[in-house]
């Protein structure tokens, strides 16, 4: 990962682990990066596979249709989600991620730069280059910050795992596969027939 050479842009020290959102805003990176506990994490080095993009577009479309006329809003990457701890000042925020898809029902959390605070639902679509981040670092980040529902979709194997927040801890669902109909506990009434869903994007 290299920053483009530009005298007006800071090149981050990758060994330094206390970067803030204020730092993040100054970077002109050639790759998409996220901050977790002040440490830089690269998204997949190459562009996601086409199936990743098709899953993202189709699910975003279905969520947007379901939410039309409702107070919740859906956003897809690139879209910054900031998790403040004790202060909302840019220099005091050390967790900034770009989920593949997120749904925010408290519109007070939205500003011109994205979302500040926990979305109600986050969907991560796995790729070979980013599964470790999604499964380990983001799990802890989302759980500790109160993301109510966290979906992990694996496009290659066409399965889905849902973590639901119960008393501050994530409780996993069974592994949903073709033939299962998934129902959100956060977006009441939203369902996803996996066989039909993946059939539509092949």
Cα distances (Å, whole numbers) of residue 56 to 49, 118, 134: 11, 20, 15
CA trace torsion 188, 189, 195, 199 (10° rounding): -110
3-state secondary structure of 135: helix
- pLDDT for position 46: 53
Length of the chain in terms of residues written: 202
pLDDT tens digit string along 134-189? 678 899 999 999 999 999 999 999 999 999 999 999 999 999 999 999 999 999 99
pTM of the complete model: 0.88
Helical H segments across 46-193, by residue range: 50-67, 131-132, 138-145
- pLDDT for position 8: 37
CATH 3.40.50.720 fits 50-201, yes or no: no
- pLDDT for position 155: 92
Domain residue limits, the chain: 50-201
Which run of H or of E encompasses 23?
helix 21-26
Point out the residues of the chain with pLDDT beneath 70.
Answer: 1-16, 44-48, 129-131, 134, 202
8-state DSSP, 91: G
Distance CA 176, CA 182 (A): 7
Distance CA 138, CA 58 (A): 23
Locate tokens 């994490």: which residue?
41
């Amino acid at each position: 990962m290299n920053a483009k050479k530009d005298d007006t842009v800071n090149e981050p020290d990758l060994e330094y682990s206390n970067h803030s959102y204020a730092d993040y805003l100054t970077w002109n990176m050639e790759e998409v990066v996220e901050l977790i506990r002040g440490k830089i994490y690269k998204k997949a080095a190459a562009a996601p596979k086409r199936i990743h993009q098709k899953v993202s577009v189709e699910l975003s479309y279905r969520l947007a249709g379901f939410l039309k006329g409702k107070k919740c809003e859906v956003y897809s990457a690139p879209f910054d989600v900031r998790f403040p701890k004790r202060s909302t000042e840019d220099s005091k925020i050390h967790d900034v991620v770009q989920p593949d898809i997120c749904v925010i029902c408290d519109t007070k959390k939205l500003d011109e730069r994205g979302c500040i605070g926990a979305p109600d639902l986050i969907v991560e679509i796995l790729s070979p280059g980013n599964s470790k981040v999604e499964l380990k670092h983001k799990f802890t980040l989302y759980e500790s910050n109160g993301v109510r529902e966290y979906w992990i979709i694996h496009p290659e194997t066409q399965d889905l795992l849902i973590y639901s927040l119960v008393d501050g801890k994530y409780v996993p669902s069974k592994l949903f596969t073709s033939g299962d109909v998934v129902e959100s506990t956060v977006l009441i009434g939203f369902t996803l027939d996996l066989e039909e869903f993946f059939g539509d994007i092949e």
